[in-house]
Structure 1
Amino acid sequence: MSEAAYDPNNVFAKILRGELPAQKVYETERVLAFMDIMPRADGHVLVIPKTPARNLLDIHPDDLAELARATQIVARGVKAGMGAEGLTVQQFNESAGGQVVFHIHVHILPRWSGLALRPHTGAMEKPEVLARHAETIQAAITAMQAGG
Structure 2
Amino acid sequence: MSHDPNCLFCKIVQGQIPSRKVYEDDDVLAFHDIHPWAPVHILLIPKLHIASMVDLGPEHAALMGKMTVLAPRLMKELGVTNGFRTLVNTGADGGQEVFHLHMHAIGGPRPWLKG
The TM-score bracket by the shorter chain reads 0.7 to 0.9
CA separation of 1:116 and 1:41: change in aligned 2, threshold 3 A = closer
Q: Which structure has the highest strand share of the two? A: 2
TM-score by length of 1: 0.67
Equivalent residue pairs, number: 113
Q: Following superposition, which runs of at least 4 residues in structure 1 exceed 6 angstroms of deviation?
A: none
Question: What is the CA–CA distance in structure 1 between the aligned matches of 2:111 and 2:84, rounded to whole Å?
Answer: 12
* Residues 99-142 of structure 1 deviation map (CA, whole Å, 9 limit, x = unaligned): 00000000000133xx353539xxxxxxxxxxxxxxxxxxxxxx
The one-letter amino acid paired with 1:98 is G
CA separation of 1:44 and 1:116: change in aligned 2, threshold 3 A: closer
Letter in 1 for 2:47: K
Cross-structure match for 1:69:
66
| Aligned position for 1:90 | 87
Matches within 5 A, 1:1-148: 8-112=5-109, 115-119=110-114
CA distance 1:13–1:93, change in 2 (3 Å): same
Is there any run of 5+ residues in structure 2 with no aligned partner, and where?
none
TM-score (norm: length of structure 2): 0.84
In structure 2, the residue corresponding to 1:44 is in which secondary structure?
Answer: strand
CA RMSD of aligned residues (A): 2.2
Task: Write the distance in 2 (CA, Å) between the matches of 1:116 and 1:25.
Answer: 19
Distance, in Å, in 1 between the alignment partners of 2:106 and 2:54 is 23
Identity of aligned residues (%): 35
CA distance in 1, matches of 2:91, 2:53: 9
- Could you say which structure has the higher helix fraction? 1
Looking at structure 1, the residues matched to 76 and 25 of structure 2 have their Cα atoms a distance apart, in angstroms, of 20
